[in-house]
Amino acid sequence: MADIAALAAALAGIELSTDRALLRQKSRDFYWYSPILKAQLDGKAAELYARPRDEAEVLRILAACRSAHVPVTVRGGGTGNYGQCVPMEGGVVLDMTAMAAPISLADGVVEVEAGAKMIDLDLWARERGWELKLWPSTKRTATIGGFVAGGGAGVGGISHGTLRERGNLLGARVATMQDPPVVLEVEGDAAAPVNRTYGTTGVLTRLRIPLTPAQAWRDVAIAFGDFVPAAQFALALAFADGIPKKMCGVFDSQLPPYFKGIADAVPEGHALALAMIAPGAMRALRDLAAEHGGRIVAEQDAVAAERDPEATPFYEYCWNHTTLQVLKKDRGVSYLQCRFPFEDTLKAVEAVRMRFREEVWMHTECVRFGGRITMSALPVIRWHGAERLAAIMAAFEAEGIGIANPHVLTIEEGSNYRRVPGDQLGFKRRVDPLGLLNPGKMRDFIPLETA
Amino acid sequence: MADIAALAAALAGIELSTDRALLRQKSRDFYWYSPILKAQLDGKAAELYARPRDEAEVLRILAACRSAHVPVTVRGGGTGNYGQCVPMEGGVVLDMTAMAAPISLADGVVEVEAGAKMIDLDLWARERGWELKLWPSTKRTATIGGFVAGGGAGVGGISHGTLRERGNLLGARVATMQDPPVVLEVEGDAAAPVNRTYGTTGVLTRLRIPLTPAQAWRDVAIAFGDFVPAAQFALALAFADGIPKKMCGVFDSQLPPYFKGIADAVPEGHALALAMIAPGAMRALRDLAAEHGGRIVAEQDAVAAERDPEATPFYEYCWNHTTLQVLKKDRGVSYLQCRFPFEDTLKAVEAVRMRFREEVWMHTECVRFGGRITMSALPVIRWHGAERLAAIMAAFEAEGIGIANPHVLTIEEGSNYRRVPGDQLGFKRRVDPLGLLNPGKMRDFIPLETA
């Protein structure tokens, strides 16, 4: 066991804490959506909390931890769902939220400290004529560093793909666990090794993120008599190049009653599509909705709603907020993450929706991967245990549906491909040879040295 | 023969002319790229030139022509390539360029008079934070009404599709040849009957066009050792959702020597890709180019180049300007218009490129149709007569490549599907029962009444 008191003494001048309640709070995220992760992670906690103000403090902390062989787990807003920022072996939890300043904006690219809250960053950008391309449904609490390190998909994906799409993460500064720790600057393709690695490949201190010109967005809720036309509408919207959009999710009829702000507007038994659309495209959207038998039942200014603490932007019913909205009223559910095939997308959706209708409440989101359109899904699942979950996942995969399992701890197990790319593993070996950065999260990594 | 003198007298107060040279000039477009159209259209001319200032004058002209049974052919900048604005049966040529005012801008949608030059409209929009989604390579001379009535594809198509994509034309005001002529307002899907009908379904007086938030663009020229990697690069760029772009054309090695401003920068025997890219995406573009063995050989600010009469924005080497650049030095060529399949796109390109390499100089443009990415092509063709052209077109079609024949006069013959949609034909019957609007251009229309 490391000498935490000695470590704290060595880090004098940096914001630190050993308060039990704080350590417990700062060692958690939203992993509890998964009963499996809950059983594995409840009670895990760091021994020392550190909140650096700048890169120099980050390097001091890393150097001290390397010397003392103490693990370091980095966290942003703590909005992840996979225990990304839960320290598996104690040590230091590194809270990045004090490093939150935008540094520069040029050519529509912002350089920003990793701990900036995404809503603040977007607001700052909007005042300068730009907006984020992508954000998670947790935008109002998540940090940009956390989104890069542990998220990367979400709102905007219907137009811009994911953060792993070339061009969506332009660069980073990353503090290493080398001897001595240094800050590396990685740019373009060379930034891939720090993209969605849960802080196992260095501590992101700054990010270079491309923005898109700011515009107003309308939140639109469209009700349909059945799930099928709702899904057909959503996919048609995703393919409609003439309609600028940021989001389109589809919800089977079991789900809208859990959406507090709009539940009353959706007729009982109706499926729902939620979209974010450029205001100028509303006429085209109405034509498209009418073609599929949909009716607009609610509408609001998305940006205004987001800034109003009393209001709910529609994206807070989408992505993994769907699951949260249900969990608020019913703790007996969990969820899955799926990606449907590019071809015959809706055939695959229907096959699993009809087969598991009682226990899997279908929720899909339109997305682009590599320039092609499909749907991902975060269906809400009535929890009947891990064995039943495995059977459902197997049935999905048998239909050609990719599963990104959200009930596992490691990057590899949670990936569609069950592995990390070689460049990430190689980079990890270089920057964290001792394996002190968020240990237990990159399964394939074996430390090359021991202290 | 109509009594043109009487007609002119009835239209006193409107800008008119019977000057032979002016009538000849205002009865032409760029149909002469096609030796076939040149033989058919040379010498065709209107008998009276009219340039209305407002809708009231348009209606006066249409009413007088209806009474006198005189055909009316509408024109904008006269930049078309299919003789769209060549009067086949004399009568009046209606020059819309005096009606060029922007009317309003709200929610990123501009309402504008049909005769506005696209470059002026784009400049006006840019001053207000918006820009056109789509424009032709003739942007510096074409009008928005002409683009809607006789064009509809071009720069921007790699991101926004064509003007026929739902949402890209939001509405129009159109003056009819009914008894009496009236101005109809058509919105959303209901505007389809006036979309690309050469002015046969009414005279467009105003258009409602969606804009996109303005941003800077870089013109980038990338040289490749061979056509194949250039085309692979271009298609990969089209699929790269993380790289905001407005254009990507590919040119086989015979073509760059004709591109005056950049010919010297392209090594002999090299293929070329020309792209318009958001400045912030240049790093990602360089990574993508390097991956395909391409080298950036020229670069400029696209918007600045467009505004400088001495400079050439790279889009003036693309789309049908490619053909024009060659025709400036060699009048022995013409061109074709093709659309490649969505699947195995480059296999189809290569099949025809290799087979006809000596006489068909391949030039492709990345485009989106219905949300899917492919390439269209406007290859330059060494002219060996109509029979040889037909053989080449047949060979292309045998490879599954769609041909939009630019060597024919009617909307139907020039379309991929060899027909006009039913709603256009029905609308034509309603608004121009006598068939006086640009006669000879909508093949399937048969006048229901005779005077």
* A72 three-class SS: strand
Contact residues, chain A, for B278 at CB < 8 Å: 107-108, 210
A50-71: average pLDDT: 98
B378 neighbors B335 (Cβ within 8 angstroms): yes
pLDDT at A450 (0 to 100): 55
Q: Does B302 touch chain A (CB under 8 A)?
A: no
DSSP B51-84: E-SSHHHHHHHHHHHHHHT--EEEESS---SS-T
B387-392: average pLDDT: 98
B18-22: average pLDDT: 97
A70-97: average pLDDT: 97
Buried b (16+ CB within 10 A) or exposed e, B98-112: ebbebeebeebbbbb
Q: Does B189 touch chain A (CB under 8 A)?
A: yes
Q: How confident is the model at residue A1 (pLDDT cuts 50, 70, 90)?
A: low
Q: Does the ipTM surpass 0.90?
A: yes
Query: For residue range B84-117, what is the model confidence (pLDDT) as tens digits?
Result: 999 999 999 999 999 999 999 999 999 999 999 9
Residue B276 φ/ψ, nearest 5 degrees: -115, 125
Q: Does B371 touch chain A (CB under 8 A)?
A: yes
Check whether A25 has a pLDDT greater than 80.
yes
What one-character DSSP code corresponds to residue A315? G
pLDDT at A416 (0 to 100): 76
CA distance B363 to A300: 46
- When CB atoms are compared, the residue of A109, A167, A281 closest to B240 is A167
A66 neighbors A92 (Cβ within 8 angstroms): no
Contact residues, chain A, for B168 at CB < 8 Å: 241-242
pTM value is: 0.96
A90-112: average pLDDT: 98
CA distance A52 to chain B (A): 30
CA distance A110 to chain B (A): 10
A201 neighbors A432 (Cβ within 8 angstroms): yes
Check whether B451 has a pLDDT greater than 50.
no
Phi-psi region of A267 (alpha: psi -120 to 50; beta: other; left: phi over 0): beta
CA distance B280 to chain A (A): 5
Beta strands per DSSP E along B68-202: 72-75, 92-95, 102-106, 109-113, 130-132, 171-175, 183-187
Scanning B251-280 for CB atoms below 8 A from A yields: 278-280
Say which range, A2-11, A121-130, B131-140, has the weakest mean pLDDT. A2-11
Q: Write down the mean pLDDT value for chain B.
A: 96
pLDDT at B418 (0 to 100): 78
**Inter-chain residue contact B166 with A287, CB threshold 8 Å:** yes
Task: Report how many Cβ contacts below 8 Å link chain A to chain B.
Answer: 129
Q: How confident is the model at residue B361 (pLDDT cuts 50, 70, 90)?
A: very high
pLDDT at A449 (0 to 100): 58
Q: Which residues contact A369 (CB under 8 A, 6 or more apart)?
A: A161, A162, A165, A339
Query: For residue range A287-338, what is the model confidence (pLDDT) as tens digits?
Result: 999 999 999 999 999 999 999 999 999 999 999 999 999 999 999 999 999 9
Return the residue in B105, B127, B164, B166 with the most chain A beta carbons within 10 A, the one to mutate for interface testing. Answer: B166
Check whether A451 has a pLDDT greater than 60.
no
- And the tokens for A61? 């902390």
Contact residues, chain A, for B171 at CB < 8 Å: 283
Query: For residue range A183-225, what is the model confidence (pLDDT) as tens digits?
Result: 999 999 999 999 999 999 999 999 999 999 999 999 999 999 9
Q: Does A242 touch chain B (CB under 8 A)?
A: yes
**Inter-chain residue contact A159 with B241, CB threshold 8 Å:** yes
- And the tokens for B285? 């573009």
In A3-91, alpha helices (H): 4-10, 20-25, 35-41, 55-68
**Inter-chain residue contact A241 with B371, CB threshold 8 Å:** yes
Q: Does B212 touch chain A (CB under 8 A)?
A: yes
Return the residue in A107, A215, A283, A303 with the most chain B beta carbons within 10 A, the one to mutate for interface testing. Answer: A283
**Inter-chain residue contact B280 with A188, CB threshold 8 Å:** no
